[in-house]
Amino acid sequence: MIEKRQFYINGEWVAPLAPRDHDVIDPSTEEACAIISLGTSADVDVAVKAAKDALPAWRATPPAERIAYVERLLEVYKARQQEMAEAISLEMGAPIDLAFAAQAGAGISHITNCLTAAKSFEWLHPLGDGTPGAMIGYQPIGVVGLITPWNWPMNQVTLKVAPALVAGCTMVLKPSEEAPLSSMLFAEFVHEAGIPAGVFNLVNGDGMGVGTALSGHVDIEMISFTGSTRAGRAISKNAAETLKRVALELGGKGANLVFADADDKAVERGVKHMFNNSGQSCNAPSRMLVERAIYPQALEIAKKVAEETKVGNPREHGKHIGPVINKSQYDKIQGLIEKGIAEGATLLAGGPGLPEGVNRGYYVRPTVFADCTPDMSIMNEEIFGPVLSIMPFDTEEEAVKVANDTEYGLTNYAQTQDPERLRRMAMQLQAGMIELNGQSRGAGSPFGGIKASGRAREGGRWGIEEFCDVIAISGYAAE
Ligand code: NAD
């Protein structure tokens, strides 16, 4: 049993002030794999004080030096990627190959992209022609609180920590209590990279305790949060009193429009994308809208892909999917599968209960529903499991309307060979990200949504700007 009860504060591992044990559950066995401690507002006060004390020196450190620290962090991260993959696989059940390449790998890409953006970031630049002496400056916002989820743990942590560091902020991270081991390892990386004490601090805890203490803290200027829409609302309300900036990355219910002229692989790609990470991705294309002319073939392909998707032990190599995170998510997913059946969708593959031959672990059968209608629960609620809902459509207008008619707006997808239609999709689909023909986001592009998906923009230049105050300067004497 791994015992990791300490917090990383002011450059060292310290004991919690009022220790409260919390089991981290391995979702493949349903058994505790580690014990951590949940902090209190008193621990948060200590961590925030450390961050506040470290702020003047860190913000005065020239950007090039801050960048050099993050470069060292990247080197340590790369050297210890395997350890990171093992921690992620253990705490949240991603199969080890996915955990290494995609989960731990995401951290490497985000830090790399952040460094690229940071190197060309103009911290002070002229406003423009006709405004002599007018300058725009970017100053660090100050002490920031970072609150992250369990589903892509390092993806989220690095999308926040790297830009906050280069921007000159100091920080307190509260990772998900479901998946804290990867973040504790990340804190070791920060330490090994020699980042000055107090710049990065980590306090474990739950949402009600440490999360609330951070979002209401008088000395924190900004909360950067990734997680559920429910928690995003609670954080916004609690942060209002101290007028913090709140950057939210929340849930999603992505639509994937597959037109009759889509490439041969479009349906297969969409189903596999949905099942990736056991369906636990905020940007999963969970609603597949298929033009009626190819609907029967699409259903055949979707059924085949689902039936061929293997579910298995996260410790084993391979392309299988692992369990979902915990009992409550498992129960929620089962409930939604039952609801899909009760509301009249056609169960094409998978369904309720554990996969064949499995008797423990939170494993879900890769499930596909056909003949869905926009009013069904499975077309509206974020399921966060390997469950795909498919519906046919007759016209482009109808498909766009269904795609947009959701409270969420994180990522929408379209598959078509018609360049004019691609242009229309790019401008008519309403979401923070639109991915056409299976092309994923370019390196350094911003990740974020609209509406109930939150309006943060993380990654690349935009990710750095989020941690800055934009300052209008006049009367500046250029050299
Ligand atoms: P969650 O909202 O329950 O928890 C996320 C984090 O917030 C955890 O650290 C948790 O302890 C904390 N938290 C919970 N309630 C809080 C509160 N009242 N105040 C402060 N902190 C609080 O979400 P989860 O179950 O960990 O993650 C799944 C959700 O995250 C899904 O809805 C998913 O779509 C979303 N997500 C979004 C993105 C994105 O970038 N848009 C990325 C990944 C996950």
pLDDT in tens, 39-80: 999 999 999 999 999 999 999 999 999 999 999 999 999 999
As a whole number, the mean pLDDT across the chain is 97
Dihedral (CA of 79, 82, 85, 90) sign? negative
Task: Please say if the pLDDT value at position 479 is more than 80.
Answer: no
**Would you state the pLDDT for residue 67?**
98
CA-closest residue to ligand 1 atom 26: 149
| Ligand 1 atom 13, closest CA | 207
Enclosing H/E stretch for 21: strand 21-26
- Residues forming beta bridges with residue 225, ordered by sequence position: 147, 248
Mind listing the pLDDT tens digit for each residue in 304-316? 999 999 999 999 9
Name the pLDDT band for 19 (thresholds 50, 70, 90). Answer: confident
Residue 325 CA: nearest ligand 1 atom is 25
What backbone phi and psi angles, to 5 degrees, belong to 284? -65, 140
Q: Of the residues 169, 282, 372, 468, which is catalytic?
A: 282
The residue whose C-alpha atom lies closest to atom 30 belonging to ligand 1 is 227
- The yes-or-no answer on residue 300 being catalytic is no
Which residues does ligand 1 sit against, CB inside 6 Å?
147-152, 174, 176-177, 206-207, 211-212, 215, 226-228, 231, 234-235, 249-252, 282, 382, 384, 410, 449, 453
Give me ligand 1 centre to Cα 274, in Å.
19
E strand or H helix that includes residue 200: strand 200-202
351 CA from centroid of ligand 1 (Å): 26
Annotated catalytic, 178? no
Q: How many other β-carbons are positioned within 10 Å of the β-carbon of residue 107? A: 29
pLDDT in tens, 113-168: 999 999 999 999 999 988 989 999 999 999 999 999 999 999 999 999 999 999 99
State percent of the chain over pLDDT 70: 100
CA of residue 383 to ligand 1 center, whole Å = 14
Closest residue by Cα to residue 75 from 194, 179, 174, 202: 194
pLDDT at 211: 98
What is the value of pTM for the model shown? 0.97
> Which residue lies with its CA nearest to atom 20 of ligand 1?
211
Residue 390 CB partners (closer than 8 Å, separation 6+): 287, 288, 289, 290, 298, 299, 302, 348, 368, 369, 370, 371, 372
Rounded to the nearest 10°, the torsion over CA 96, 98, 104, 110 is 180
Find, among 59, 34, 168, 158, the residue nearest to 103 by Cα: 158
Contacts of 223 (CB under 8 A, 6+ apart): 144, 145, 146, 147, 214, 215, 235, 239, 244, 245, 246, 247
Q: Are 395 and 290 contacting, i.e. CB atoms less than 8 angstroms apart?
A: no
pLDDT at 373 over 80: yes
How many angstroms does the Cα of residue 388 sit away from the middle of ligand 1?
22
pLDDT tens digits, 250-265 = 999 999 999 999 999 9
For atom 34 of ligand 1, which residue has the closest CA?
251
Residue 3 CA to ligand 1 center (angstroms) comes to 24
